[in-house]
Every structure is written in structure tokens, then in C-alpha cells.
Amino acid sequence: MLWRVVYCLATWLVLPLVFGYFAWRGRREPAYRENLGERLGRIGPVPHGAIWIHAASVGEVVLVAPLVEALERRFPQCPLLITTMTPTGRERAFKRFGDRASIRYVPLDTPGATRRFIAQAAPRIGILVETELWPNLIAAAERGGVPLVLVNASVSRASAARYVRWPLKNATRFMLARVRAIGAASDAHAGRFVCLGAPDDRVEATGNLKYDAPDDPDTETMGARLRSQWQASDRSIWVAASTHEGEEEILLQAFERLRSRESGGLLVMAPRHPQRFDAVATLLASSPWSIARRSAGDTVTESTDIVLADTLGEVPMFYAAADVVFVGGSLVPGIGGHNVIEPAALGRPFCVGPYIEEWQDIVDGLVECGAAHVCRTPAKLADASGFWGVDRERARAAGAAGRAHVRAQAGALDRSVAMIERVLSTGR
């Protein structure tokens, strides 16, 4: 196939650029310079016959944690191999599973690296989380007799439109034809996979694993404690989480409108990526608002206007402290939105911007039940957030409706485990 020849040549040509990127990124984040041999498939000793789970980054590692634990219970005799693509994902995997699983980087998608990885790991099955499709990795798994499954698989309408264009059309068909089972996040996603070339009998709508995240009562307790520490029991708290470049400016405009109506509101801003913390701090420092930086241990008082949440792993606690939530990656194009199920599961009403391609069907359901608003302008964002912030009874009712909707969609975990068990026992 011509496209495979071209693709394989391209992977070799860009390999020096990729390692150059790791070196450049490593100046700020040293972890990018570590374990480079794994990027070439030299993963060292790992138990053969493992259940291999690939979760690209932090979000996927968190998402797949209940599935990993369910597989541990179902197949206690099988070792576990977890691969990630990013240092932050690797770190989170080590914290959660390092005492009972081998943690490695997934190889770069060159023929040699993927072949070495499959030969050295020799896994019993490969579980790819969401839509991690790489031609050489899939081809190497097929040659090595390793069945692959996709869990929580999704493909947006926009992505599906790109995949049907040449040469992606041929590559997509090649990959999907070699995956033994696809557990799609919804009926709509399942239909798109079939249209892209996946065999109809290998695709099933198992549901979205994000709906199966276990409740953590400690999160609510920590949120209430945080409100008390911030002397914010009577203040409206608006949490803007997972924000990207270009969104903070829009949020500040919305906050200005919001504060013109409700003088006591507190904004908590949590940028998505740690490398942007300082830049956002500089932006906030140039505003007229009183800022507290959480990483610096700044005290939050009644006169504090904005908290910069420049820490890791605390977003669920901030959600639990909130009256209203904004979920980022949705006010600027090209990202597609972030996890809206998390605030809904905590019973918090939320807003998003218009660019929610990756979450459209989920947002639609939460909008329909009254738990969410899609806001296209700072004015609409201020209106929706201010409405819920002032009328707390309606906010609680909206949040309760969102929580009930999330719970009604649960069940993907059990269906995904059943699909994996079927492939392990029958090979299909």
C-alpha cells in the first residue's frame, strides 16, 4: 500500500525532529529527556502475557483507573502493563498503579520501535483508551498475534469528516479492520466508526466510562472545608477549570460583567497546563482585581477577587466548592472541550463555550436536563453564571438534575469488561 510506504518513510524523517522537541521541552520539564529508550521500543524487562492498557495522558489514566481495577479483580493471574505518551500521564500512572503494574512510554510509531515494543512486551491483549490509533503499532500487534480493542472509543463529526479524506481514509480503514472490538462511547460514535470502515460486527456502543467514575464523598467534604477556609460561605464561587490560551481574557471580561451585578463573587481560575501557570499569573496581575495564588499559599480573604489555582490534582475539590462551573477548552477553536461529566457528577451546574466537538452529545444531554448552558459570548457567560450564582435554589436543582443524568448513563465499565473478556476467551 502506497500510503503505508509514505507513512513509514515520514516517521523516519520526523524522528530527529521529535527528539529535538523532547530536548527543547526538557529544558522546562526535565521528564521529557528521561527514558528516551522506551520511545524507541526498548522497554526493558516486563512480564510477558500482560494485559496492556495504553492511556495517552493524565486524563486517560484517570479515566481508565476503574477499568484497570476491574480487570485486576477479574484476571488476578495476569500482570499489567500500562503505557502513556506524556510524562504527566506516566507520573500519574506510577502514583496510582506503580506498585502493581509495569509503567512505560508507548513507542513512537516507527516500524522498528513498535516491532521492538511488541516483541519485548509480548502482551496477551492490548487495550487502547479512546481513539489512540497508530498504523505501525497496530500492524506490529497484528504480526505479533496481539488482539487489540478500543474502549471508550469516540470520533467527533469533525474528525470523522477528516478521516474520510485521502490518505487518511485508507489508513483509517486499515487500522479499524485490525482492531478486534470497538467499545464506542455512544450509538452516534459507533455509527461513525462503522462508516469509517470498522466491521459492523466488531463495534458496540458500550457507553462512556466517564459516567462510571466512582463517587468520592471526601471531595464534597474538602470542597466545604475550602469554602470555610476562604471565608466564602456566603459568596458565590465561579470555578473556571481547564482553561487554555485565549480563554482567560474572555473569562475576565465575563467576570467584570458578573461583578458589576454581584459584588461579592469569587472567581477560581485553573489553567489546563502547568507550563502556562506563570503566564496566566502575569495576565491576572495586570488586571484590577485582587489575586491570590494558590501555589504560593496566599491567603484568600473577603477582599480577594480571583484565586489562581496553579496546582495539580485539585480541580475536583474546586468543583465541590463551586456554585457554578465553567469547563474550558470550549471558548477557542481547535481543542473540542474537556470533561463536563466531572462537575455534573458532583451536582454542579456548568457553562461551556461553543467549541465542544468532542463532548457535543454529552453536553446536549446535560443542556436538555437543565444542568448546562452553552455560551457564545462573555455576556452570555456572565448571564448564565450570574443567574445560577444568585439563585442558589435553582442552581442546586440544576446540579441535581445533572447528577441524576450522569448516574442514569452508567454501565459502560461492566460492558467494557465483558467485551475484553470475550476477546480474551474467543479472540474476537
Q: For residues 206 and 151, is the Cβ–Cβ distance under 8 A?
A: yes
Q: Report the distance separating Cα 330 and Cα 419, nearest Å.
A: 32
* List of long-range contacts for 375-380, beta carbons under 8 Å, 24+ apart: 375/351, 378/250, 378/251, 378/253, 378/254, 378/257, 379/254, 379/257
Q: For residues 112 and 9, is the Cβ–Cβ distance under 8 A?
A: no
How long a stretch of residues is the chain?
428
AA letter at 222:
M
Burial (0-12, 13-18, 19+ Cβ within 10 Å), 292: buried
Which alpha helices (DSSP H) does 346-390 contain, by range?
Answer: 360-368, 378-390
Report which of 273, 263, 255 is spatially closest to residue 383, judged by C-alpha positions.
255
| DSSP characters over 109-122 | SSHHHHHHHHHHH-
Q: For residues 41 and 120, is the Cβ–Cβ distance under 8 A?
A: yes
Residue 402: how many other CB atoms lie within 10 Å: 27
Name the strand (E) or helix (H) holding 259.
helix 247-261
CA angle in degrees (0–180, nearest 5) for 275-281-285: 160
Q: Report the distance separating Cα 148 and Cα 391, nearest Å.
A: 50
Report which of 364, 368, 353 is spatially closest to residue 254, judged by C-alpha positions.
353
Q: What are phi and psi of 291, to 5 degrees?
A: -115, 140
Residue 38: how many other CB atoms lie within 10 Å: 20
**Residues that are catalytic:** 60
